[in-house]
């Protein structure tokens, strides 16, 4: 712990020194932004069956001091982003830990408080950018989880080349991860939910390369390749389209993912194809969505542990990605601004899956999940932009524990610079 504290102090000191030196450069401070983001988060997951821990219930307050510099002038502009994070326990108990909000000590108790600093160096050339350090990727092959008071962050480098319109190229390497309820940088690992693979190996690197094209007529095409060292190779192909249809708008989102074992096959044989399609039609504040997802191959689709798989039917709790599984989604959204209540939004969705060939099957091959999400963002006054959000979910399965879940989240951001 002493070494970790020293390392944190050195890192903070180095970052501040770099900021002070660069602050003299025009643009670094002129274009800088500093925000204090606060999030009060109550989480309750109630397991409806089984003999293991019956509930995960915790309440925490998160603070994020988010600094984003501008770029220094010149052909190559440089800058620094840094986020200082502080999480404080408001309520927990050894029999209710594991919510993802707070670290759990060896004695089973949640930490009273925890903190970390996530610094990132950035450089810009033309329309292209290099980022080194703490990263929160939102890519088809790796989606960092941001669903608690701290985001999941990765250490590594990411290059985005945007100088060849309409093409955008992405190249990156990640080598460590800090989970959302942790301060430690850990090796990358394979998610092995429901014993989908023969092992849960760790890996040194996760490599990414891809290209995206935003074409005329609302058409977008994406290809991305990723590799988790000695575990799996993955190819993603995506198509999005937006079309004015009648008085409304139709959006289409098609995704195909091909995954195979790689190198030393540390997780055993991997052979998966995942297809997903989501169509939504918006009209007068209403949006109706229909989705379909189908898993092909001998195994499930692999992804890095802790991340959100980029599947159309991955929602609040489940991913509906067991081998052979097929699932359907029905979703409805409404924006109450149409009724004169701006800031109030509502969403509900239902997904049912079947034909799942899960290793944990005990009684059947089906599962379903229902979500409801209501949010209100205050539009004026001293509490302008305060967001109040309630998320509810129910999940039932033939091969996993049934559960009900509620989350109550209050978010507020204060611009300081």
Residue 91 CA to residue 243 CA, distance in Å, equals 48
For range 344-361, the mean pLDDT:
94
- Of 216, 149, 115, the C-alpha closest to 411 is 149
Name the residue range of residue 331's domain: 2-415
Q: What is the pLDDT of residue 202?
A: 96
With a threshold of 0.75, does the pTM exceed it? yes
Alpha-carbon dihedral sign for residues 122, 124, 127, 128: negative
Q: What is the pLDDT of residue 28?
A: 85
How does pLDDT run across 238-283, given as a tens digit for each residue? Answer: 999 999 999 999 999 999 999 999 999 999 999 999 999 999 999 9
Number of structural domains (the chain) is 1
Please tell me which residue, 12 or 155, carries the higher pLDDT value. 155
Q: Residues 165, 168, 171, CA angle at the centre, nearest 5°?
A: 150
pLDDT of residue 15 exceeding 50: no
User: What are the distances in angstroms from CA 235 to CA 149, 224, 315, 390?
Assistant: 31, 6, 22, 36
Q: Domain of 107: which CATH number?
A: 2.40.160.10
pLDDT of residue 292 exceeding 50: yes
* 21 CB-contact burial (10 Å; exposed 0-12 / middle 13-18 / buried 19+): exposed
Q: What is the pLDDT of residue 52?
A: 84
User: Kind and range of the H or E element at 3?
Assistant: helix 2-22
pLDDT of residue 204 exceeding 80: yes
User: Kind and range of the H or E element at 298?
Assistant: none
User: Kind and range of the H or E element at 12?
Assistant: helix 2-22
Cis geometry, peptide bond prior to residue 166 (ω within 30 degrees of 0):
yes
Q: What is the pLDDT of residue 30?
A: 84
How does pLDDT run across 124-172, given as a tens digit for each residue? Answer: 999 999 999 999 999 999 999 999 999 999 999 999 999 999 999 999 9
* Mean pLDDT across the chain: 93
Query: Rg of the Cα trace of the chain?
Result: 22
The token pair that represents 193 in the structure block: 């939910």
How does pLDDT run across 79-111, given as a tens digit for each residue? Answer: 999 999 999 999 999 999 999 999 999 999 999
End-to-end CA distance of the chain: 34
Largest CA distance in the chain: 67
């Amino acid at each position: 712990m002493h070494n970790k504290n020293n390392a944190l102090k050195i890192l903070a000191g180095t970052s501040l020194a770099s900021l002070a030196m660069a602050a003299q450069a025009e643009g670094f401070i002129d274009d800088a932004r500093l925000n204090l983001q606060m999030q009060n988060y109550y989480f309750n997951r109630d397991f409806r069956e089984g003999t293991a821990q019956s509930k995960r219930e915790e309440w925490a307050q998160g603070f994020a001091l988010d600094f984003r510099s501008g770029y220094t002038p010149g052909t190559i502009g440089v800058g620094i982003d840094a986020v200082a994070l502080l999480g404080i326990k408001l309520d927990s108990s050894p029999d209710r830990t594991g919510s993802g909000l707070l670290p759990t000590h060896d004695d089973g108790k949640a930490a009273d408080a925890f903190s970390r600093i996530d610094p990132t160096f950035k450089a810009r050339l033309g329309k292209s950018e290099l980022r080194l350090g703490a990263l929160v990727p939102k890519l088809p092959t790796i989606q960092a989880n941001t669903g608690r008071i701290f985001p999941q962050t990765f250490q590594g480098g990411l290059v985005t080349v945007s100088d060849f319109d309409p093409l955008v190229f992405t190249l990156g390497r990640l080598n460590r991860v800090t989970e959302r309820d942790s301060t430690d940088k850990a090796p990358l690992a394979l998610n092995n939910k429901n014993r989908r693979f023969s092992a849960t190996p760790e890996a040194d690197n996760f490599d990414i390369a891809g290209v995206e094209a935003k074409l005329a007529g609302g058409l977008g095409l994406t290809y991305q390749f990723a590799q988790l060292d000695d575990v799996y190779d993955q190819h993603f192909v995506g198509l999005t389209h937006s079309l004015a249809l009648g008085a409304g708008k139709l959006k289409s989102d098609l995704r195909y993912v091909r995954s195979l074992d790689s190198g030393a096959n540390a997780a055993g044989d991997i052979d998966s194809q995942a297809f997903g399609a989501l169509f939504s039609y918006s009209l007068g504040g209403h949006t109706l969505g229909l989705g379909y997802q189908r898993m092909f191959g001998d195994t499930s689709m692999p992804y890095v542990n802790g991340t959100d798989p980029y599947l159309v039917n991955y929602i609040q709790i489940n991913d509906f990605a067991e081998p052979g599984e097929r699932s359907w989604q029905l979703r409805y959204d409404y924006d109450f601004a149409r009724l004169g209540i701006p800031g109030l939004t509502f969403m509900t969705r239902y997904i049912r899956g079947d034909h799942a060939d899960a290793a944990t099957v005990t009684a059947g091959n089906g599962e379903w999940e229902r979500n409801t999400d209501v949010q209100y963002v205050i539009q004026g006054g001293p509490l302008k932009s305060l967001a109040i959000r309630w998320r509810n979910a129910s999940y039932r399965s033939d091969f996993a524990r049934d559960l009900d879940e509620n989350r109550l989240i209050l978010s507020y951001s204060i611009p300081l610079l």
